[in-house]
């Protein structure tokens, strides 16, 4: 049937010689001739595979992303034998991976894999896509299958597998794999960068810097390596060295401007820092088309708030208690949930789950498991019917299996933290699966959150990192979601403040332990402040940034306001109600 | 052709427009009324009656400052119209301006000394100011002018009962069923009310009239009734049946008029204190309700898991049913309990139900707080929870009656002029010995009240 949709396909072979000539032009770097000939062929036969491929390569080389992507998609949609289809899908997936659009690459990578399941490259690409979209365990499986299909050690696959393990916090295994990978293939600057990050996370900071310095001697123009080296300086308070490395400013890209801005912040050059942050975001908007996309977020918020009301949720079945108590660490990006998790990791009986738990995935599974005609959350109504009443139990077990696979269910563990970013959306489902789990909400002054997020090279939902107004709007959505759930559900909820946490970590931990019924002693204040105690693996990726607890970022907005009184003018209206509700104030700016 | 007609507008005589405006307000079509009032004011900004009606509509729409401004302008333009100060009296009361309300009420009486409603409105203000003798006297003057004026009789009853003049109060209180809002509280029947005489078993119908709190409060008298008329049939709302079933002597319970079966006489629960001759010194003791032990254990276990150890568990109710006539006076915002939340040694367990639980979303104070309202199914749950806390802090709503009836320690915060049952000038209640009363020092002003509650915990 599919063949009938492409009646020209059989005739396109008549143009193969011409297409081969176009390919030859391209290989000889005669791009204009290659392009002209390919276009001529495609005028006659729009689906001529080789000509499409040539034009795709030309557009890719010209960095015409939308055109190249459209061509790659056309190629992937062409019929043909399994190897041809697999190659086209793999090509599309590769291109999207190269653009950093990993989630979009998933269907193409999956199609390539399904067409040629024995192909090591298809397994490898799948590993890359899954790892970069946060599904580390599945990514690891595909990398290992790629190695098995290859039947030999491969430096690139091993390095990528090492990066995956590093993301899982399995640092010792990652180090071993990086050593093997780089011995096999030393000309891998990304691999060396990953190895340096593992060394840094393991506390071998001098070794990490040596690895990066050696690599930079070999590839002095390698910008990701240079940025990593600058970030190593930043982590060790060598702010001036960061500025020296990341110059001249005329040639910098967005992540480099952000690193410069952070260094300038440390040096007290606040106006310059703001200029760097703003420049980075402008570059992202203008060159990469970064724009805030709030519509899906606001639609989701409206749907969840409409469903999760006290009267509607109360009759739904709940799961019984499981073998451990999850402790949900809630907070806006950069609020301090990472720091809190690092500190809790030092309390006996705690295991750290970071963002690996996936209530997002569980919510997605509800309509299917409940055989509901409705999407989530309306599908939850089906939990009232028949065997579906057992579904919360089943979902809870699915969540526990995720934790077990990460090796977190150790015998002496009572509490496992979960700081997944999507938890603010899913307090309703959390309440059904864990009605008595503690929810610790880390609050932080909204202006400080704006500063922390605008300075960091981290993606947020809906591209909310695109600028201050986007951040403020997203903050309001996030805060309103939590506010709604608190008003409609019985939650075991405790708010703590970042400002208190950094001022007196022991006191805040004692408060949390008293709230959740933890009986272990709070580590001594100086141990908590050092935030460097040995910890069992796996360790979450953010543990790489462990540093002594400091107060310099609490109330940082004051100095910025003193230097630039109008800095928050465009977000003031959005944030003022939250500042008041949360019990914060905007303190007088003092120059 | 006039300008208005030329512009294609419909020209309506003023009297017709005013009549329509008044009708829309009375029919509760407030948005439409608002729109018409604004258009009329635009055309005739200095017309006193438009201003007055527009003021009433603004008041009904919750814009009290605008209401006062419009109505004061109307009165200044037409100082001798009695209707204006009469209505302003009520608007000032709503605005919490009792001195202005009193002045307006007196002016209305002065302008229309034979108008019963003017006297009635003034009586209401005296009640709010706790000038109870004056309230009774003025209400009696309204009754003289209109002996069938049920609201005036009821106002008189409330003032008498609040003043502790129970015998007189109960008599006037009988007028409550002739109030407009009492419609449907009693069955449509030609059977007489019970006079207190003994009857054979099952021949008396008791009706759980009034609010939940009243029913809980007066149900203590059912055993006395049953001693005279065994196995009375009790008609009440479904929410009350699980708890009133516990009262000794109750016969069949029904929740629909058509299920009452045959009976000889009926009596509302709120009519029992009069028949029983209840005064402040002979109230039957509390302890007549008992939480279900299984539920107490179940909620106890749940609270043990939810709440941190070593802190006093303080139950909290801060808002009443918004449709209650005095809800504005009795209801607070959750945030107004801040002095309570500042204590180090407490954990707050909210037993609030209804839409106001959403305020928990804005709670970020010091004491941990658990929003239990969403999981409370009925009064049995509430009683079981109350048994598992150390103390209840509440406004005047049904939960305080439950706490009092089962003997749980409670602090009740009351408006300056409270409901009659809480009497005057005392910190205790003859109805509920476990409840301590905290009264406003000034009308509509909660300052200092919660501080006193928090300090006494």
Residues in chain A within 8 Å Cβ distance of B371: 486-487, 489-491
Question: Cα distance from B432 to chain A (closest Cα, Å)?
Answer: 30
Q: A487 vs B359: CB contact, 8 Å cut-off?
A: yes
Residue A246: pLDDT band (50, 70, 90) is very high
User: Does residue A327 form part of some domain?
Assistant: yes
- Identify whether A514 is part of a domain: yes
- A315 to chain B, any CB pair closer than 8 A? The answer is no
Residue of B nearest to A439 (CA): B306
Q: Is residue A146 part of a domain?
A: no
Q: What's the pLDDT score for residue B8? A: 53
Tell me if A229 is assigned to some domain: no
Quickly state the pLDDT bin for A357 (edges 50, 70, 90).
low
Label each residue of A5-55 as H, E or C: HCCCHHHHHHHHHHHHHHHHHHHCCCHHHHHHHHHHHHHHCCCCHHHHHHH
Q: Which residue of B has its CA nearest to A515?
A: B308
Nearest CB neighbour to B360, from listed A487, A516, A581: A487
CB contact under 8 A, A517 and B361: no
Peptide bond preceding A530: is omega within 30 degrees of 0, i.e. cis?
no
Alpha helices in A434-490 (DSSP H): 446-455, 468-488
Residue located via tokens 């519509």: A295
Q: Give B292-319 pLDDT, tens digit per residue.
A: 999 999 999 999 999 999 999 999 999 9
Residues of chain B neighbouring A308 (CB-CB closer than 8 A): none
Note whether A313 contacts B: Cβ–Cβ < 8 A: yes
8 A C-beta contact, residue B50 and residue B85: no
- Cα separation, A406 vs A416, in Å, equals 11
Distance CA B70, CA B92 (A): 12
CB atoms within 10 A of CB A520: 12
pLDDT of B239-255, one tens digit each?
Answer: 999 999 999 999 999 99
pLDDT tens-digit profile of B400-436?
999 999 999 999 999 999 999 999 999 999 999 999 9
HEC states along A154-222?
CHHHHHHHHHHHHHCCCHHHHHHHHHHHHHHCCCCHHHHHHHHHHHHHCCCHHHHHHHHHHHHHHCCCC
Among B306, B360, B362, the residue with its CB nearest the CB of A492 is B306
Is the predicted pLDDT of residue A2 greater than 80, yes or no?
no
Is A267's Cβ below 8 Å from some Cβ in B?
A: no
A residues 441-500 lying closer than 8 A (beta carbon) to B: 443, 482-495
* Per-residue pLDDT at A10 exceeds 70: no
Give the H or E element holding residue A230: helix A223-235
- CB contact under 8 Å between A487 and B305, yes or no, is no
- What tens digit of pLDDT does each residue of A461-518 get? 999 999 999 999 999 999 999 999 999 999 999 999 999 999 999 999 999 999 998 8
Residue A322 is assigned to a structural domain of this protein? yes
A14 at the B interface (CB within 8 A)? no
**Contact residues, chain B, for A487 at CB < 8 Å:** 357-361, 371
Q: Which residues of chain B neighbour A515 with C-beta distances below 8 Å?
A: 308, 368
Across chain B, what does the average pLDDT equal? 92
Q: Would you say residue B4 has pLDDT above 50?
A: no
The answer, yes or no, to whether residue A538 has pLDDT greater than 80, is no
In 3D space, the residue among A404, A480, A452 whose CA is nearest the CA of residue A554 turns out to be: A452
Quickly state the pLDDT bin for B186 (edges 50, 70, 90): confident
Query: Which of A310, A492, A582 is closest, CB to CB, to B373?
Result: A310
**Residue A288 pLDDT more than 80?**
no
Measured CA to CA in angstroms, residue A39 lies from A35, A44, A504, B145, B262 at distances of: 6, 9, 68, 101, 96
pLDDT number for residue B178: 82
Determine the distance from the C-alpha atom of residue A328 to the mean position of all C-alpha atoms in its chain, rounded to a whole number: 18
Q: Is residue A26 included in any domain, yes or no?
A: no
Q: Calculate what percentage of chain B has a pLDDT beyond 70.
A: 97
pLDDT exceeds 70 at position A153: yes
Check whether A590 has a pLDDT greater than 60.
Answer: no
Is A514 touching B (CB cutoff 8 A)? Answer: yes
Q: How many domains does chain A have?
A: 1
Q: Residue B106: is its pLDDT beyond 90? A: yes
The whole-number average pLDDT for the span A312-327 is 93
Residue A386: inside a domain, yes or no?
A: yes
Q: Flag the least confident range among A213-227, A268-282, A441-455, B323-337.
A: B323-337
Q: Provide the sign of the torsion angle of the four alpha carbons A5, A10, A15, A20, taken in this order.
A: positive
Output the pLDDT for position A42: 87
Provide mean pLDDT across the span A387-398: 94
pLDDT above 80 for B180: no
| Structural domain for A519, as ranges | 296-550
Which of A483, A514, A517 has its CB closest to that of B361?
A483
Shortest alpha-carbon distance between residue B413 and chain A (Å): 23
Domain membership of residue A201 (yes or no) is no
Q: What is the pLDDT of residues A20-54, one digit of tens each?
A: 888 888 888 888 888 898 898 888 888 888 889 99
Q: What pLDDT, on a 0 to 100 scale, did the predictor assign at position A407? A: 82
Write the CATH number for A326: 3.40.50.300
Lowest pLDDT segment from A33-42, A347-356, B10-19, B70-79: B10-19
Report whether pLDDT(B12) > 90.
Answer: no
A567 Cα distance to chain centroid: 28
Assess A427–B contact: CB distance below 8 Å, yes or no. no
pLDDT band at A591 (very low <50, low <70, confident <90, very high): very low
Strand order in the sheet with B233-235: B253-254, B233-235, B204-207, B265-268
Q: For residue B338, what is the nearest residue in chain A, using CA coordinates? A: A583
Q: Is the pLDDT of residue B398 over 90?
A: yes
Q: Does residue A7 surpass a pLDDT of 60?
A: no
Q: How confident is the model at residue A3 (pLDDT cuts 50, 70, 90)?
A: very low
The residues, any chain, with a CB within 8 Å of residue A337's CB and separated by 6 or more, are A329, A330, A331, A419, A442
State the number of CA atoms in the 13 A half-sphere of A323 facing the CB. Answer: 13
Assess whether pLDDT exceeds 50 at residue B105.
yes
Residue A8 in this model has a pLDDT that exceeds 50: no
Using the beta-carbon criterion (under 8 Å), do A487 and B357 form an inter-chain contact? yes
Instruction: Tell me what pLDDT residue B279 has.
Output: 94
Q: Are A123 and A149 a contacting pair, CB within 8 Å?
A: yes
In degrees, rounded to 5, the angle at the alpha carbon of residue B239 between the alpha carbons of residues B236 and B244 is 60
What average pLDDT does the segment A554-580 reach?
A: 94
Can you give the three-state secondary structure of A294-360, one letter per residue? CHHHHHHHHHHHHHCCHHHHCCCCCCCCCCCEEEEEECCCCCCHHHHHHHHCCCCCEEECCCCCCHH
Bridging pattern class, strands B265-268 and B410-414: unpaired
What is the structure's pLDDT at A495? Answer: 96
The whole-number pLDDT of residue A94 equals 87
For the ranges A21-35, B123-137, B193-207, the lowest mean pLDDT is seen at A21-35
A122 and B CB contact within 8 Å: no
Closest CA to A421 of A538, A293, A545, A331: A331
**What's the pLDDT at B215?**
94
With pLDDT > 90 as the criterion, what percentage of chain A qualifies?
64
pLDDT digits (tens, 9 = 90+) for A88-143: 998 999 899 888 788 889 999 999 899 888 889 889 999 999 998 888 889 999 99
- CB pair distance less than 8 Å for B306 and A487: no
**B352: nearest CA in chain A?**
A487
3-state secondary structure of B393: strand
């Amino acid at each position: 049937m599919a063949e009938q949709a492409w009646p020209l396909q059989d005739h396109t072979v008549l143009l193969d010689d011409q297409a081969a000539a176009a390919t030859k032009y391209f290989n000889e770097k005669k791009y204009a001739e290659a392009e002209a000939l390919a276009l001529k062929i495609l005028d006659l036969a729009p689906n001529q595979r080789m000509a499409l491929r040539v034009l795709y390569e030309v557009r890719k080389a010209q960095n015409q992303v939308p055109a190249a992507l459209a061509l790659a998609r056309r190629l992937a949609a062409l019929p043909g034998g399994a190897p041809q289809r697999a190659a086209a899908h793999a090509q599309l997936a590769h291109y999207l991976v190269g653009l950093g659009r990993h989630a979009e690459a998933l269907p193409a990578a999956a199609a390539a894999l399904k067409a040629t399941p024995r192909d090591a490259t298809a397994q490898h690409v799948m590993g890359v896509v899954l790892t970069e979209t946060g599904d580390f365990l599945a990514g690891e499986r595909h990398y290992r299958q790629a190695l098995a299909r290859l039947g030999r050690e491969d430096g690139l696959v091993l390095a990528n597998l090492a990066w995956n393990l590093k993301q899982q916090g399995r640092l010792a295994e990652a180090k071993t794999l990086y050593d093997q990978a780089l011995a096999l293939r030393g000309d891998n600057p990304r691999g060396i960068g990953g190895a340096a990050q593992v060394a840094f996370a393991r506390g071998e900071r001098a070794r990490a810097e040596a690895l990066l310095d050696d690599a930079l001697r070999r590839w002095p123009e390698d910008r990701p390596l240079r940025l990593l080296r600058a970030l190593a300086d930043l982590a060790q308070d060598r702010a001036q060295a960061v500025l020296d490395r990341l110059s001249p400013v005329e040639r910098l890209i967005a992540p480099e401007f952000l690193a410069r801005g952070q260094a300038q912040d440390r040096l007290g050059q606040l106006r310059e820092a703001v200029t760097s942050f703003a420049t980075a975001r402008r570059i992202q908007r203008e060159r990469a088309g970064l724009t805030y996309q709030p519509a899906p977020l606001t639609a989701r918020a409206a749907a969840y708030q409409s469903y999760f009301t006290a009267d509607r949720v109360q009759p739904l079945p709940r799961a019984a208690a499981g073998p451990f108590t999850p402790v949900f660490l809630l907070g806006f990006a950069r609020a301090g949930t990472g720091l809190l998790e690092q500190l809790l990791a030092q309390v006996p009986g705690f295991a750290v789950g970071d963002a690996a738990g996936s209530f997002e995935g569980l919510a997605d599974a509800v309509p299917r498991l409940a055989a509901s005609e409705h999407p989530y959350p309306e599908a939850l109504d089906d939990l009232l019917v028949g065997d579906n009443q057992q579904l919360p139990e089943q979902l809870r077990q699915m969540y526990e299996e995720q934790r077990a696979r990460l090796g977190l269910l150790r015998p002496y563990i009572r509490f496992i933290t979960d700081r997944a970013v999507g938890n603010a959306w899913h307090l309703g489902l959390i309440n059904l699966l864990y009605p008595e789990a503690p929810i610790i909400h880390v609050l932080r002054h909204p202006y400080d959150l704006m500063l922390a997020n605008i300075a960091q090279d981290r993606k947020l939902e809906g591209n909310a990192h695109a600028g201050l107004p986007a951040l403020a709007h997203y903050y309001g959505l996030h805060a309103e979601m939590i506010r709604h759930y608190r008003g409609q559900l019985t939650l075991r909820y405790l708010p703590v403040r970042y400002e208190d946490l950094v001022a007196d970590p022991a006191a805040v931990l004692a408060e949390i332990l008293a709230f959740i019924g933890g009986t272990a002693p709070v580590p001594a204040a100086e141990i908590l402040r050092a935030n460097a105690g040995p910890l069992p693996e796996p360790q979450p990726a953010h543990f790489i940034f462990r540093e002594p607890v400091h107060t310099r970022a609490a109330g940082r907005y004051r100095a910025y306001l003193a230097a630039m009184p109008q800095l928050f003018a465009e977000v003031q209206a959005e944030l003022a109600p939250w500042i008041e509700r949360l019990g914060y104030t905007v303190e007088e700016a003092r120059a | 052709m006039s300008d208005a007609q030329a512009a294609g507008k419909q020209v309506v005589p003023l009297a017709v427009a005013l009549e329509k405006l008044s009708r829309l307000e009375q029919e509760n079509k407030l948005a439409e009324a608002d729109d018409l009032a604004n258009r009329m004011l635009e055309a005739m900004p200095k017309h006193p009656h438009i201003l007055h009606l527009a003021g009433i509509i603004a008041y009904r729409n919750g814009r009290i400052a605008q209401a006062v401004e419009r109505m004061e302008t109307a009165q200044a333009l037409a100082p001798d119209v009695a209707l204006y100060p009469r209505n302003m009296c009520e608007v000032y009361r709503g605005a919490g301006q009792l001195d202005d309300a009193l002045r307006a009420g007196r002016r209305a009486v002065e302008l229309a000394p034979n108008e019963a409603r003017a006297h009635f409105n003034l009586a209401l203000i005296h009640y709010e100011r706790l000038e109870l003798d004056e309230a009774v006297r003025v209400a009696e003057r309204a009754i003289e002018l209109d002996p069938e004026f049920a609201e005036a009789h009821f106002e008189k009853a409330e003032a008498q009962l609040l003043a502790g003049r129970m015998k007189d109060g109960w008599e006037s209180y009988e007028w409550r069923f002739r109030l407009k809002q009492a419609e449907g509280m009693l069955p449509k029947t030609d059977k007489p009310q019970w006079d207190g005489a003994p009857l054979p078993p099952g021949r008396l119908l008791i009706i759980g009239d009034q609010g939940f709190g009243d029913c809980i409060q007066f149900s203590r008298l059912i055993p006395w009734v049953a001693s005279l008329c065994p196995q009375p049939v009790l008609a009440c709302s479904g929410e009350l049946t699980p708890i009133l079933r516990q009262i000794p002597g109750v016969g069949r319970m029904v929740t629909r008029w058509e299920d009452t079966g045959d009976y000889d006489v009926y009596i509302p629960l709120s009519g029992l204190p009069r028949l029983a001759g209840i005064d402040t010194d002979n109230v039957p003791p509390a302890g007549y309700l008992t939480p279900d032990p299984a539920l107490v254990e179940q909620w106890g276990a749940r609270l043990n898991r939810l709440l941190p150890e070593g802190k006093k568990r303080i139950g909290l109710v801060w808002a009443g049913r918004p449709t209650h006539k005095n809800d504005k006076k009795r209801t607070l915002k959750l945030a107004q309990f801040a002095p309570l939340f500042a204590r180090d040694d407490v954990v707050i367990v909210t037993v609030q139900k209804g839409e106001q639980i959403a305020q928990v979303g804005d709670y970020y104070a010091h004491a941990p707080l658990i929003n239990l309202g969403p999981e409370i199914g009925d009064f049995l749950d509430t009683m079981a929870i109350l048994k598992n806390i150390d103390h209840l802090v509440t406004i005047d709503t049904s939960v305080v009656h439950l706490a009092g009836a089962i003997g749980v320690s409670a602090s009740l915060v009351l408006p300056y002029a409270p409901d009659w049952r809480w009497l005057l000038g005392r910190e205790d209640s003859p109805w509920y010995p476990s409840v301590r009363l905290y009264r406003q020092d000034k009308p509509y002003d909660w300052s200092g009240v919660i501080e006193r509650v928090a300090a006494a915990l």
